[in-house]
Structure 1
Amino acid sequence: MPLLSFNQVDFSVGGPLLLDKASFSIERGERICVIGRNGAGKSTLLRLIEGEAVPDDGQIVREDGLRVARMRQEVPAGLAGSVFDVVADGAGDLGHALAEYHRVSHAEQVDAAALARLHERIDAVQGWTLESRIEGLLQRLALDGDAAFDALSGGSKRRVMLAQALLGEPDILLLDEPTNHLDIPSIAWLQEFLAGYAGCIVFVTHDRAFLRALATRILEIDRGQVSSWPGDYENYLRRQEERAHAEAQANAEFDRRLAQEEVWIRQGIKARRTRNEGRVRALEAMRRERAQRREKEGQARLRVAEAGASGKRVLRAMEAGKRYDGRWVIQPFDFTLMRGDRVGIVGRNGAGKSTLLRLLLAQEKPDAGSVEHGSGLEIAYFDQQRATLREDWNALDNVAEGSEYVEIGGRRQHVLGYLQDFLFSPERARAPITRLSGGERNRLLLARLFARPSNLLVMDEPTNDLDVETLELLEEQLAAYSGTVLLVSHDRAFLDAVVTGTLAINDAGEVEEFVGGYSDWERQGGGLGRRHAPPAQASAAAGAESKPAATLPASTPERRKLSYKEQRELEQLPSRIETLETELATLQATMSEPQFFRQSGERIAETQARLQALQGELETAYQRWEALESGG
């Protein structure tokens, strides 16, 4: 029997239904990821599962005694007290009594009378088992129960909220964007923890690496329809593409038949003499069906206004370092950024990534060494704190700043049309910025950023709150950008897709440079250290070390010198890979066109066979490149 079932559930908050006749079930042991566009209703679905919201129509059937807990997208404001207090708060009155007992028993001067009263109260309801569960959770999540909650980092606060959600031993654990504001080690730890969790998990995330590692089923919300896709994310992507193609064909056939009937009804006297009233009623039904069709929301079209080329050397740091309160936050390092480079900056929360960014941009003055900028730089800066958005302006004013037009790629475009490319309707474009969601604010900042001509894009956590489709479009745009990119991100898939080099900051403030994205960095022996240990333990261990770990493990064999033939092969492989990728992209674009499937079956089969062969050749080329790079 399912833990929970939705039967023909409708829900709206004004306007089109967020959920339209939604029907699905949740079984024990599943790890279900809910995906959909920003505003599609993902968080609403979690609220309905929890019981915080009730459907407008239909029925939600729950198993008797079902326990559901939700970790919200944002840490609630106003939480205070110790970590133990906040976790215990999830258990109601008994939790409050245990929190008070914990506070009194840990005070410098213990109030024996108060302690005895609390002990008796907890004893009466056999509440010590709950205390044992709290202590066990704190140990599993590497949390200090006596630490002040409001003094914790954002990532540690989210671990406390996870402990609070787990306290009730829920049958269904709901997680809304659990990786937001976590650094890569914390995400990796959470991923491993949830993979071993015995209960059912329903989660919303934009982190594709996290999604791929955990999901056993996908629930997609698209124009009010909820569809279930068994299997992993890759299976969903394949089947979604097939469904989109079938839907487009079905809609085209329906529209063709409707157009024929509209011609027939307008044929005049000759047609009216033989008019079939059943056919007239069928036409009216077709008109109603067409009017009710909800078209797929437009896809964002991200385009960057590019300035003229900068100098060949964009910037150079020479023994540059930054110190706060006598401590090196960024130890002196050397680094050169060349035109066309796309470099990612990674490190734990608090390691100094944003400081490093400001140092390279000359917004912070180095306490050692120097930073030199090349000629002709036009910088566009995406700020993590969204400080460049004016709260007293609407979206239109934030982008236009009094002008009616923006110039993108040498073409003038009205600012309203430009904002529609970023999925802002005219109404949303004129709405106060305070009414925009986190995802809309991020898209607005991208719109503002991309409207400024630049040849150096600097982005500090650009992926927060963006849906997966917009993320993938941003990746494509950055890959096509002819300028230079410098970005900070905790999104492993995003880093792998965009960057060509990585700057890693360790806990000692040392900056190391690696070739490639996040996965390349790990393969080269990098990593933020003890990724699978709870972050608090990892940080403590790192702090106890007198020296950072070596770049490569001690067991790494000495690199073999390549022969002349192998060296030539290594030099030629990048252009070979680029040629294969270009042909593959062209072939995929051809196959996505509706007319492709109107060809003969033989021609379709030939093209699909070529696609598979190309994918195999590309994988082999990458493996060979990696082997030669490592001295194989």
Structure 2
Amino acid sequence: MLHRPILHSLSNVLLSYRNLTVSFGGPKLLDDAGLTIAKRERICLLGRNGEGKSTLLRILNGEVQPDKGEIESIPNLRVGKLEQEVPTALDGTVFEIVAQGLGQAAETIAQYHHLLHEIGERPEDENVAAQLDDLQHELDQTDGWALEHKVENILDRVELDGDLEFASLSGGNKRRTLLARALIAEPHILLLDEPTNHLDIPGIQWLEEFLRKTDIALLFVSHDRAFIQRVGNKILDLDRGQLTRWECDYDTYLERKAELLAGEAKQQAVFDKKLAEEEVWIRKGIQARRTRNEGRVRSLKKMREERAQRRDLQGKAKLDLSDAQLSGRKVISVDDISYTWNDQPLIENFSTTIWRGDKIGIVGLNGSGKTTLLNLLLKEIDPGSGTVTHGTKLEVAYFDQHRAQLDEKLSVAENVHPAGEMVCINGKPRHILSYLQDFLFTPHVSRSPITKLSGGERARLLLAKLFLQPANVLVLDEPTNDLDIETVELLEERLLEYSGTLLMVSHDRSFLNNVVTSTIALEGDGRIEEYVGGCDTWLENHRAKVGQPKKAKEKTAPSPQAATPDIPKRTLSNKEREALKTLPAEIENMEAEMNALSNRMASAEYYQSSDNDPLADAKKLESLENQILEAYEELEQLEELTR
């Protein structure tokens, strides 16, 4: 059993773990590790694939019990989690999905919201009107209107229309909906597992800004280096079972971690040399053994035990591309192609020429047609008009973001090479198990089914399968999803060395900027633009075109009058009537406090006094502004109900 003392309520620390140990019967994923999360911290959890990052998140969310560990937390600690994958079986509107985060209270609110839509479509239906009247009475009695208002506020913050069906949303907006569901319970700590997966680049930038402004403590796992640098203000490094906390941003962490590993390697080299010398000494002849120092023998035994317990740093993957014959100089010619899907133009009058050695990134909003453009370029589908012409001697290898090329019924080795034990790499034979070790798969794992592999391990497996195929045109659709950062950086190196032609869809800004020589951007409504270099120029142009982010739909808390004139006007609850009386005075007091603080901070004397805290006062000013805005919105909604 875990001991669970309670942290003092005045402490900034929300949760603290000591001696945290998890093994699952193999090497310890966590080995007497320690972890502390404090208010307003944004901690990025880093580690190689398979080190146990997702396991740690599941422990903190109460899904997995550790083998050992002592936890302290504030009273009634609330933890929310945004999962790595979007569930496939979620039905209902965005409003209903978000309301689920309220627990049992959600059912009445969701039913009321659903009936509002029905009465709007069938105002003459007396049965629906009667049900709606009953629900209004129930919400009056249980203060459910406040909870409904809470859902509306969250939807407003994440800029979503609650009336839309969840199933109809893009992958990015589904992630926003699930984020809203996690936030509705007002968690003290929010856990995020690869939050940028399936988001387009503008969506990632929106999420960055949202998370930077929140007061909720964050612990997140991500491979997106630009996202980590922008959001994280602390780093938690999971390496060989140990958690090491770094009080810095990601770029500074990289420098300090490199210095630490270099120092560790030097210490281990000195230790190993000393151990080797002592092993030589102990094996000397009978005369030396008669006169040997027993203390030295005991020291040698201790050194042997220490060396046996050492967990060596996991090696890096080796990603070697198989060579293919050179393609023709002109790889793909595109002449005035157009393509329409569901009567919506995805591509209109697009022409380009792709030459041998080009490394092209394809970017755009979710649903803009990036994968469709790839399939058109590969002649997997035909354009509605125009032509796509391939050059000579093309050998194409394709990385599918959905990993449909992997067969769940086969082992790791069989998925890569189902025919025999030997593979051919650049004309040289190698055993399949040896080849898979380059991708960090042990012989035991290579013989096992792929069902137990993590998302990152599946991505590495698909790369192993892909790189076995000689290719002079490499097509990658979201190749970095779920990969650890070291493997992403190694993939970058190999793609930079690759002499063939590269076509790549990705939302990883650092990856695109480091690899591609030009960018094709799908702007929407069929428009396509081409840019030299990575995605930064496109992002600047995109921001200039769309301006400041706008809400998907301006919403106020629905009232019976607002939905349809046929619905009888509901009376205000006692709490709402009291709020209607007191809110104007509260707003006036908050505005006076905000103006006084703002005037103080505008004076030169303010910054000359050590008694003042500009950082804390700036946060207080921002908090007051938000409170005033929310109070005005609440007052407006209450006044609307009395009209």
Asked if the contact 1:314–1:338 (Cα under 8 Å) also holds between the matched residues in 2, the reply is: yes
* 2:361 match: 344
From 263, 266, 269, the counterpart of 1:246? 263
Tell me whether 1:42 sits opposite 2:50 in the alignment.
no
Rounded to whole Å, the distance in 1 between the matches of 2:31 and 2:273 is 27
The structure 2 residue matched to 1:103, chosen from 109, 114, 126, is: 114
Note the C-alpha offset of 1:392.
Answer: 3.0
Q: Is the 8 A contact 1:186 1:531 kept in 2?
A: no
* 1:395 positional shift: 2.1
Aligned to 1:86: 97
2:232 counterpart of 1:215:
yes
Tell me, yes or no, if structure 1 residue 405 matches structure 2 residue 416.
Answer: no
Is 1:31 the equivalent of 2:48? Answer: no
Uncovered stretches (5+) of structure 1, i.e. residues with no partner: 539-632
Shift of 1:325: 4.3
Q: 1:530 aligns with which of 522, 546, 552?
A: 546
* Matching of residue 276 in structure 1 with residue 293 in structure 2: yes
Match of 1:311 in 2: 328
- Establish whether residue 425 from structure 1 lines up as the match of residue 442 from structure 2: yes
Verify the 8 A CA contact 1:306 1:454 in the aligned structure 2.
yes
Letter in 2 for 1:179: T
**Matched letter for residue 67 of structure 2:** D
Distance 1:351 1:198, change over 3 A: same
In 1, are the aligned partners of 2:344 and 2:525 still within 8 Å (CA)?
A: no
Q: Secondary structure at the match of 2:524?
A: coil
Partner of 1:614: none
- 1:92 partner letter: G
> C-alpha displacement at 1:425, in angstroms?
1.1
Structure 2 CA distance for partners of 1:23 and 1:324, relative to 1, 3 Å: closer
Matches of 2:147 and 2:22, distance apart in 1:
37
Gaps of 5+ in 2: 1-10, 120-124, 555-643
Provide the residue aligned with 2:200 in structure 1. 183
2:489 to 448, 457, 472: 472
Contact preservation (8 Å) 1:3, 1:26 = yes
> 2:593 is matched with which residue?
none
Kept in 2, the 8 Å contact 1:185–1:532? The answer is no
Q: Residue deviations 1:494-527, cap 9 Å, x none?
A: 100110000011111112111100124345x356
Q: CA deviation at 1:146?
A: 1.9
Pairing 1:71–2:82 present: yes
- C-alpha separation in 1, matches of 2:116 and 2:356: 62
Check whether the contact 1:206–1:468 (CA below 8 A) recurs between aligned residues.
yes
Q: Which amino acid aligns with 1:12?
A: S
> In the TM superposition, what whole-angstrom CA distance separates every residue of 1:332-388 from its partner, at most 9, and x where no partner exists?
211000111100000111111111111111111122111111111111111222222
Task: Report if aligned partners of 2:161, 2:552 keep a CA contact under 8 Å in 1.
Answer: no
User: 2:346, 2:524 within 8 Å by CA — same for their partners in 1?
Assistant: no
Aligned equivalents of 2:551 and 2:118: distance in 1?
A: 28
1-side partners of 2:67 and 2:195: how far apart?
28
**Offset at 1:112?**
4.5
Partner of 1:202: 219
Distance in 1 (alpha carbons) for counterparts of 2:344 and 2:42: 44
Cα offset, 1:8, TM superposition: 1.7
Equivalent positions of 1:326-405 (< 5 A) are 326-405=343-422
The 1:76/1:370 distance shift into structure 2, 3 A limit, reads: closer
Question: Is 1:515–1:521's contact at 8 Å kept on the other side of the alignment?
Answer: no
Deviation, 1:393, is 2.4
Q: 1:217/1:326 Cα in 2 relative to 1: closer, same or farther (>3 Å)?
A: closer
Which residue is equivalent to 1:497? 514
Alignment counterpart, residue 236 of structure 1, candidates 248, 253, 256? 253
Q: Which residue of 2 aligns with 1:8?
A: 19
Task: Count residues with an aligned counterpart.
Answer: 537
Q: After alignment, is 140-149 or 386-395 more displaced?
A: 386-395
Contact 2:160–2:553, Cα closer than 8 Å, also in 1:
no
Correspondence for 2:177 among 132, 135, 160: 160
Output the CA distance in 2 between the equivalents of 1:38 and 1:18: 11
User: What is the rounded CA distance, in whole Å, between the counterparts of 1:34 and 1:222 in structure 2?
Assistant: 11
2:461 pairs, out of 436, 444, 449, with: 444
**Partner Cα separation in structure 2 for residue 157 and residue 490 of structure 1:** 17
Instruction: Give the TM-score normalised by structure 1.
Output: 0.82
Q: Please tell me whether residue 134 in structure 1 is matched to residue 151 in structure 2.
A: yes
> What is the percent sequence identity of the aligned residues?
52
What secondary structure does 2:273 align onto? helix
C-alpha contact (below 8 Å) 2:22/2:29 kept by paired residues: yes
Distance 1:531 1:432, change over 3 A: farther
Change (3 A) 1:410 1:527: farther
Change in 2 beyond 3 A, CA 1:171/1:493: same
Structure 1 contact 5–61 (Cα < 8 Å) conserved: yes
User: For residues 450 and 127 of structure 1, what CA distance do their matches in structure 2 show?
Assistant: 57
Structure 1 residues 546-561: aligned runs within 5 Å:
none
Q: Distance in 1 between matches of 2:97 and 2:512?
A: 35
CA shift, 1:530, in A, is: 3.1
- Indicate which of 177, 181, 188 corresponds to 1:171: 188
Q: Give 1:26 deviation, angstroms.
A: 1.2
Query: Could you say which structure has the larger radius of gyration?
Result: 2
Cα distance between partner residues in 2 of 1:354 and 1:444: 21
Q: What is the alpha-carbon distance in structure 1 between the residues aligned to residue 384 and residue 372 of structure 2?
A: 12
CA RMSD of aligned residues (A): 1.9
Is the 1:192–1:532 Cα contact (8 Å) retained in structure 2?
no
How far 1:113 sits from its partner (Å)? 4.4
**1:16 match: secondary structure:** coil
